Amino acid sequence: MGLIINQELVNDESGRQLEELCPFKAISYSDGKLDISSACRLCKVCVRSGPQGVVTYQEEETAKINKEEYKGVCVYADSDHGLIHNVTFELIGKAKELASVISHPVYAILIGYETKDNVKELLEYGVDKVFVYDHEKLKDFDVEIYANCFADFIEKIKPSSILVGATNVGRTLAPRVAARFHTGLTADCTRLEMKENTDLVQIRPAFGGNIMAQIINPNHRPQFCTVRYKIFNAPEKVKDIKGTYEMMPLEEEWFNTHNEIISIIEKPKELDISEADVIVAVGRGYCAKEDLENAEKLADLLNGIVACSRPMVEANLFDARHQIGLSGKTVKPKLIITLGISGAIQFTSGMNGSDCIIAINTDPKAQIFDVATYGIVGDAKKIVPELIEKIKEDR
């Protein structure tokens, strides 16, 4: 794939014309020869608007794959210290939905040590088959060893699509495995759809949330994507378990790694706004010292926590762990109250799945009211203190 210069058609007139035409200054003409440098961005202006036939574009023939060889929608079961991360169950629910379109089975790959209870839990959520890599050396996460197990699973089972939670482990492991198979990976998807030809439509915000990009990978398998926590809903557990599991053999050579785990030091449990049932979120319109104190009081009364929009982090008023949005965290609380937040898509994409959204803003045309369950047009600086007093009275 690339631009081809037909030097026999190059002359002083066409050479100078193409030199001036290139917006990236990638074309040079000297001593009767035309040259294209690495500054070229393949905009193809030289092909469309330049002298006819002097520069042409040739598509590289893409090798076609047999999609029939790949079956199944697989979920990576992200586990830590014997506990499966809840994002795994959310992805199982989505995998079942996607697999129903193409009549494929739903798989889970589980890597760890003493995994019996985890296998049972995965089957309870309706997985058709769990492929298990269980070994004492898999107790702690080592990306090289885990990638070896993951690659073995793909080579033997050939799943069509693989969904991975966008956790610290998932974001480390998925790109490494995808690179081994020279296939694409779409990060932080917010929607997933399945075509009847088994192409996975991976949808995610792009350009700061101004567009929703639809990405497909038609000529490579498996198809990889990562999905944030709290994007999809976990399914109900099945009463009649019909799924099975298979213990996968391990090769000793897989454990030859460049890493050495000397010790595991537990970090203090950090605030995770993704787990909160009640959130009071503050924005630029509610950022004075007294305002933030009132937000804390309101959150305490509701047994919730305070979160924020991106500008509050940029102003060093909050730690990034408190941020909701595309560049922060996705939340799905039972109740979220937004104070002084306009509601740009960068923010709303991270919270519009909340059960109940109460928005307070002085601007009646603020975008936050488009997603709010209840909207109050007014000054949060006056409304919040009254709300605090009302809650205290009622109690």
Contact 34, 54 (CB under 8 A): yes
Give the residue numbers spanning the domain of 293.
Answer: 273-394
Overall average pLDDT of the 9-26 stretch: 91
**Residue 333, domain member (yes or no):** yes
- Are 46 and 88 within one domain? no
Asked if residue 261 belongs to a domain, the reply is: no
End-of-domain residue from the set 255, 289, 307: 255
pLDDT, tens digit, for every residue of 87-132? 999 999 999 999 999 999 999 999 999 999 999 999 999 999 999 9
Number of folded domains that form the chain: 3
- 51 and 145: one domain? no
Q: Is the same domain home to 131 and 150?
A: yes
According to the model, what pLDDT value does residue 1 have? 58
Q: Does a structural domain hold residue 267?
A: no
Domain for residue 266, yes or no?
no
CB atoms within 10 A of CB 321: 13
pTM value?
0.79
Shared domain check, 182 and 100: yes
* Same domain? 39 vs 150: no
The rounded radius of gyration (Å) of the Cα atoms in the chain is 27
Q: Is the pLDDT of residue 208 over 70?
A: no
Cis bond upstream, residue 222 (ω within 30): yes
For residue 378, the domain's CATH number is 3.40.50.1220
What local confidence, expressed as pLDDT, does residue 263 receive?
A: 81
CATH label of the domain that carries residue 24: 3.30.70.20
**Is the domain of 155 the same as that of 224?**
yes
CATH code, domain carrying 149: 3.40.50.620
Residue 160 and residue 49 in one domain? no
Kindly state whether residue 289 falls inside one of the protein's structural domains. yes
pLDDT in tens, 134-153: 999 999 999 999 999 999 99
Domain check: are 77 and 52 in the same one? no
Token look-up 């915000």 returns 205
262 within a domain of the structure (yes/no): no
One domain, residues 277 and 232: no
Domain annotation covers residue 182: yes
On whether both 380 and 302 belong to a single domain, the answer is yes
Same-domain status, 390 and 284: yes
Residue 260's pLDDT band (cuts 50, 70, 90): confident
Calculate mean pLDDT across residues 307-319: 93
My answer on whether 233 and 289 are in the same domain is no
